[in-house]
Amino acid sequence: MRYLPLAFDLVDRPCLLVGGGSIATRKARLLHKAGARLLVVAPDITDELAQLVVDSGGEYFPAIYESPFLDRAEMVIAATSDEVVNARVSADARALRLPVNVVDSPQLCTFTVPAIVERGPLSIGISSGGAAPVLARGIRAQLEALLSPAVASLAELAAGVRDKVKEALPEPQRKDFWQWVFTGPVATKVESGRPEEGRQQLLEALESWRGSPEPSGEVYLVGGGPGDPDLLTFRALRLMQQADVVLYDRLVSSQVLELVRRDAERIYVGKKKEFHSVPQDDINQLLVDLARQGKKVLRLKGGDPFIFGRGGEEIDRLADARIPFQVVPGITAASGCSTYAGIPLTHRDHAQSVRFITGHLKQGELVLPWSELASPGQTLVFYMGLTGIDTICSKLAAHGLPTDTPAALVEKGTTPEQRVVVGNLETLPDLARAGGVEAPALAIVGGVVSLHEKLQWFR
C-alpha cells in the first residue's frame, strides 16, 4: 500500500488552489463542502469558482502563481493546464512540507483525492493512488448503489446518542450493541423513514442491555431471484452480508449463494421431487429457534418469497412467535426467465393478461381450472412445469386451445446454463424428452412464445 488513507479536518483551514478552470472548480466544490477556506490563484476563474471563494470566506488573487502564495496555506492543489506551473507548485509545496496534490499527475503528489461516497457524516474514499481513477469512480458508483440513502440518518442518530451509550455500556458490550443497532430493527425503522421510532427503540434497548447483553434476533426473508446474481436487489445484498446464518433452498443459484457473508452458517433446507430434506413445519420452527438465539437469520429463496415460495407461511409463524422480520421481494422466475428467453409475458398482438400457475403434481394429479386456462389472449406460466408437461399440454388442448399454440420450456433461466426448448402443445412434451430438459424448468404457453426466435438476446 503506497498511499495511506487519511481524513483531513479542513473546517476554516486555508487551502490554496492554483488554477481557475473547470477542473479547479470541481476541486473547489469538494474543498468547500469540507468547510475549507479557499485561496485561489489564477489570472481568470469561472463564475462558480468566484462564488465558492466568497461563500467560503476565502480570497481570490488574479495573478500568476508565485511561491509566496504558499505562506498562508495548509494544503495545496494545483489544477492548471500548464505542466510547468503544476511542477513548480509541487516542488515549492514539498520544500515547505505542505501536502500537495497535482491533478492527473500522481508523481507530483504527496496525497491524492479519492473518489468519495458520502452519506451525511459517513464518507468512504476509494483511491487507486492515481493509477486508475476511472476504476475508482466505477467502484464508487457500485458503492453508491449498495448503500441506502438512510445510512446518513442512521449515522446522525448514532452521533446523537453516542455519549449515552458510552456511559451506559462497557467497551466490549458497547461494540456488540452498535452492531445490533446498525443491522437490526433500529436500522430498519430508520431506513423506512421512521427515524424517531428508531431512536426510541434504541434508547429502550439500551436500558435492557444494561442488564443483559443479548439482543433478540431477526429474520430476513429474501427473494434470491431466478439465478443471475445481477438481478438481486440492493437491499437483498445488504441483508445477505449481515446474516449470521442462512437457510437456503434448491432454487438459489450457487452464484447468488456466493454473495452471502462468508462466515455465515449455511443450512440447506431445499426440496426435490419426492424428497423433502426438511419438512416445512420444521423450517418454520427453525427460523423461530435461531432468531431466539439472538441470530440474524437469512431465509434465502429462489425467485420471490411470496410467489409459490411459501414465504407467507413462514412469516405467519414468525408473527405468532413475535419474532422481528422483514421481507425483500425478488424477481420471480416467470418474469426473469421469460425476459432472458426473449418471451414478453404480455403483448398487444398476443396476450392481454398473464397467469402464474403451479405445475406441481399432487398425488400424481394436476387439478386446475382447465377451461379458464384454455381461454385465448393470455399467457400461461407454469412453475415447476416440467414434471407435468404432458398433462399440461393435453389438458389445455382437450379444453379448447389449438394444438399448434406455441409453448416453451425454459431450463435454468437467467444462468449461463439457460436453455430454451420451443414447440407447441402437441410437440413440446416429446421435444423436452428428446432434449433431456432438466429441472428447474418453467413452462410458458401462449402466442408470445412465437416471438422467442426474433427477440432472444441472452446467450
Indicate the annotated binding residues for NAD(+): 22-23, 43-44
Amino acid letter, 436: G
Cα–Cα distance for residue pair 252/412, rounded to 1 Å: 11
Measured over the CA atoms of residue 63, residue 69, residue 75 and residue 81, the dihedral's sign is: positive
Cα–Cα distance for residue pair 279/49, rounded to 1 Å: 67
The residues, any chain, with a CB within 8 Å of residue 317's CB and separated by 6 or more, are 284, 285, 287, 288
Query: Known binding site: residues?
Result: 22-23, 43-44, 226, 302-304, 307, 332-333, 384, 413
Question: Angle between the 171-183 and 195-211 helix axes, to the nearest 10 degrees?
Answer: 150
Do 355 and 379 form a contact (C-beta atoms < 8 A)?
yes
Residue 281's Cα: distance from chain center in Å?
31
Place of cell 467560503: 56
Task: Decide if 271 is catalytic.
Answer: yes
Cα–Cα distance for residue pair 110/57, rounded to 1 Å: 26
Tell me which residue of 398, 444, 440 sits closest to 423, measured CA to CA: 444
Task: Decide if 295 is catalytic.
Answer: no
Place of cell 405468532: 320
Cα–Cα distance for residue pair 294/245, rounded to 1 Å: 11
Cα–Cα distance for residue pair 412/134, rounded to 1 Å: 35
DSSP readout, 335-359?
HHHHHHTT--S-BTTTBSEEEEEE-
Return the H-helix or E-strand segment holding 120: none
Cβ burial of 261 (10 Å; 0-12, 13-18, 19+) is: middle
The one catalytic residue among 249, 296, 395, 412: 249
My answer on whether omega of the bond before 440 falls inside 30° of 0, hence cis, is yes
In 3-state terms, what secondary structure has residue 426? coil
Catalytic amino acids?
Answer: 249, 271
